[in-house]
Homo-oligomer: A and B are copies of this chain.
Amino acid sequence: NRYDFPRFRLFSEKKTNHLPATKSSAALTSLLMSPVFQDVHVMIFIGFGFLMTFLKRYGFSSVGFNLLLAAFGLQWGLLTQGLWHLEDGKIKVTIFKIINADFSTATVLISFGAVLGKTSPVQLLIMTVLEISLFSINEHLVAQIFKANDVGASMIIHAFGAYFGLAVARVLYRPGLRNGHDNDGSVYHSDLFAMIGTVFLWMFWPSFNSAIADPGLTQLTAVINTYLSLAACVLSAYAISSLVEHKGKLDMVHIQNATLAGGVAVGTCADMAIGPYGAMLIGFVAGIISTVGFKYLTPILASNLGIQDTCGVHNLHGMPGILGGLAGIVAVALGKKEGGDAAMQAAALASSLGFALVGGAITGFIMKLPFWGQPPDQNCYDDSIYWEVRNPISHK
């Protein structure tokens, strides 16, 4: 027999009776997926966590609450998603289930970005419970009822998480912060910490978009489409940032965020036969939309609509997520996905937006109840209300 798996002796030198399992496809597939899981894990905990450390005095909360919410959320996600896939009345935990649990927390971390600096940990934990529950219902609807394609979750994670968070932010509107806040800004090194988050998200996005793709060539297609979309997106984000800024300078906020919009926007189509040009076109457009959104749309949302979006999740996850959903409809209509149905893609997008806006508004009202310890305006964007801060660095 040429496939002599048992030939290799492990370090432990112990006899093992699990070798048949290794030989089987189940274990092999799972072992092949382990690195993908780790990449997604890095995006959730390092990527989202450090991306939000750009605020000068809110780094402990950004990375610390991110860890808390994600660790709590993945357990809740395992439960809620597990209920849709019970086996003999039990939730079977597999590598795919824990990838999916990580995914469900991503929605919360996106929404967290919209309300960053303005909510207490208790409020955030409530948001986690409600948002993941709604995510799980919408995900079931999209995947099982509509049978829509959303391999990289442009719709069910990014658009959902962004509009959910924006609805919460609208309900929690703070007139006292209309004219900004001293702490709502970055210092030099906080922007560098945030770049750790940006770059890890950027690098591992191909794993995110391919994690639940059909194994084999489809999965590789998702990797390569995402890689190309992100590369094109960097170029348009830099170009537009330089174009819209004073004297052609670049703005760190755009670089930290808009360079990632290509990963969001190619999500739905990642595993479709859109070809390199399709992927790059999507990424290029996403970089433009996202940068323009940061420059012109975010201030309007804050001043005219009362939506104070701390991290600009509307520009990184909201609009690119919708772009991804639309691109998916077009791609399916053009026959780029075997068995796809454009109407069902549209239904999936509408469902994700509807659940997000309605669910976010209700969640916002629950979070607004006066006993969850919401910080007063003057303590916003400030770690010292929740953390023992010993030696704050001086900021001019």
- Give A contacts to B, CB under 8 Å: 2-8, 10-14, 16-32, 34-36, 38-39, 41-42, 45-46, 49-50, 53, 56, 59-60, 63-64, 67-68, 71-72, 74-75, 85, 93-100, 121, 143-144, 147, 185-189, 191-193, 195-196, 199-200, 202-204, 206-207, 212, 214-220, 223-224, 227-228, 230-232, 234-235, 238, 245-246, 249-252, 255, 259, 276, 280, 338, 386-396
B26 and A8 contact, CB distance less than 8 A: yes
Number of copies: 3
CB distance from A388 to the nearest CB of B (A): 5
A387 and B212 contact, CB distance less than 8 A: no
- Contact partners of A192 in chain B: CB under 8 A: 53, 59-60, 63, 193
C-alpha gap A199/B20 in the complex (Å): 35
C-alpha gap A67/B199 in the complex (Å): 8
CB distance from A287 to the nearest CB of B (A): 10
A contact face: mostly helix, strand, loop, or mixed: helix
A144, A191, A280 interface centre (most CB from chain B within 10 Å): A191
C-alpha gap A191/B191 in the complex (Å): 16
Closest to A11 in B: B96
A10 and B215 contact, CB distance less than 8 A: yes
A2, A186, A215 interface centre (most CB from chain B within 10 Å): A215
CB distance from A328 to the nearest CB of B (A): 15
C-alpha gap A228/B78 in the complex (Å): 10
Closest to A188 in B: B393
C-alpha gap A218/B187 in the complex (Å): 47
A188 and B224 contact, CB distance less than 8 A: no
Closest to A224 in B: B93
